[in-house]
């Protein structure tokens, strides 16, 4: 998992060389995600998962590489289990990435219809309490 990154500078303090954290950060969203991936692992991943349009570029970058690749979107469409967000949501919008998923062959997992398949034991146990 790769997230936002703080920037640092290398300087000498009291005769020692240290890294000093800068106030600015690279926020891990949209087109910055592929850059952060390259910064942290230095190569194109073979798998990426996301849940909003902020993950679109990361999924495009990952799945456009040579060889077998997988893109996965978790569609938060079940407000009973968790806050649902979709095409018209003000937070966590999933619109462009959902449309691109169909054209790009990415797997879309619906929390509403597929989650029981992902976690069958946990849901069975919690519903019997």
pLDDT band at 119 (very low <50, low <70, confident <90, very high): low
Tens-place pLDDT, residues 68-111: 999 999 999 998 888 888 898 888 899 999 999 999 999 999 99
Cβ atoms of residues 50 and 56 within 8 Å: yes
Give domain limits for the chain. Answer: 5-119
- The whole-number pLDDT of residue 70 equals 98
Backbone angles phi, psi at 77, to 5 degrees: -115, 25
- Written as six digits, the tokens of 47 are 């798998």
Q: Return the exposure string of 22-53: e unless at least 16 CB atoms fall within 10 Å of the residue's CB, then b.
A: eeeeeebbeebbbebbeeeeeebbeebbbbbb
CA distance 98 to 43: 25
């Amino acid at each position: 998992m790769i997230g936002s990154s703080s920037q640092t500078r290398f300087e000498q303090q009291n005769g020692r060389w240290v890294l000093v954290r800068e106030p600015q950060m690279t926020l891990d969203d949209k087109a910055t995600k592929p850059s952060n991936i390259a910064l942290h692992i230095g190569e194109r991943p073979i798998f990426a998962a996301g849940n909003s349009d902020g993950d679109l570029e990361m999924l495009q970058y990952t799945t456009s590489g040579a060889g077998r690749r997988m893109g996965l979107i978790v569609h938060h469409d079940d407000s009973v289990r968790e806050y649902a967000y979709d095409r018209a949501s003000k937070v966590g919008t999933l619109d462009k990435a959902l449309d691109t998923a169909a054209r790009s062959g990415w797997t879309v997992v619906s929390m509403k219809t597929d989650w029981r398949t992902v976690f069958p034991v946990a849901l069975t146990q919690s519903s019997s309490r």
